[in-house]
């Protein structure tokens, strides 16, 4: 299984947003950068079979933008296990039953995604990793999805993804 963890794009600052935190949207710049980063994923021949997103608006908007780029278009599923406060191990249970040939794209938040990457790569979630906004990493999982079962394929910033697209 190939797992791509993608951090949501640039959103309104908390101080500037007057609404509910869950509803904080992407900025225009964030939308543009997500589209450009998504084109970088396409250039690397990423064709997700599964697309999961945190239910928070900024992640969901990011996932919607990415979904539009792919053919065939993967079904977008909102996933509570990708919320910022969810334990990283929670997502492993969602991934385990998927076919080994799956390419899974998960859109979420920091530090949750980096903790998940650390758990898969090193068997522990506090590994000092960090994804930039609209940045992503790819982890290859050989066999059963469990802590320490992943191998890092790449870790790219939004600027690096944009340069590929």
Domain ranges of the chain: 2-164
User: Which two three-digit tokens encode residue 54?
Assistant: 């945190």
pLDDT at 14: 79
pLDDT surpassing 80 at residue 97: yes
pLDDT at 53: 99
Q: Tell me if residue 6 falls in helix, strand or coil.
A: strand
User: Which two three-digit tokens encode residue 18?
Assistant: 């007057």
pLDDT at 19: 83
pLDDT surpassing 90 at residue 86: yes
Cα 132 from Cα 158, distance rounded (Å)? 7
pLDDT at 12: 87
Cα 93 from Cα 42, distance rounded (Å)? 27
pLDDT at 162: 96
pLDDT surpassing 80 at residue 126: no
Residue closest to 95 by CA, chosen among 106, 84, 87: 106
pLDDT at 25: 96
pLDDT at 125: 87
**Where does 19-156 show beta strands of DSSP type E?**
50-53, 76-78, 103-108, 136-141, 150-156
> How large is the greatest C-alpha to C-alpha distance in the chain, in angstroms?
46
pLDDT surpassing 90 at residue 21: no
- What dotted CATH number matches 2-164? 3.40.50.1240
User: Which two three-digit tokens encode residue 158?
Assistant: 């939004």
């Amino acid at each position: 299984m190939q797992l791509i963890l993608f951090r949501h794009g640039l959103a309104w600052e908390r101080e500037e947003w007057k609404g509910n935190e869950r509803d904080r949207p992407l900025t225009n710049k964030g939308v543009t950068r997500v589209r450009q980063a998504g084109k970088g994923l396409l250039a690397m021949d990423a064709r997700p079979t599964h697309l999961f997103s945190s239910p928070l608006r900024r992640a969901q908007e990011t996932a919607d933008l990415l979904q539009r780029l792919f053919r065939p278009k993967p079904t977008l599923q909102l996933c509570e296990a990708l919320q910022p406060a969810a334990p990283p191990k929670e997502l492993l249970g969602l991934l385990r039953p998927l076919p080994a040939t799956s390419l899974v794209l998960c859109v979420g938040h920091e530090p949750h995604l980096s903790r998940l990457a650390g758990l898969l790569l090193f068997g522990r979630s506090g590994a000092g990793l960090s994804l930039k906004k609209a940045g992503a990493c790819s982890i290859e999982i050989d066999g059963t999805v469990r802590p320490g079962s992943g191998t890092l394929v790449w870790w790219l910033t939004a600027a690096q993804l944009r340069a590929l697209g």
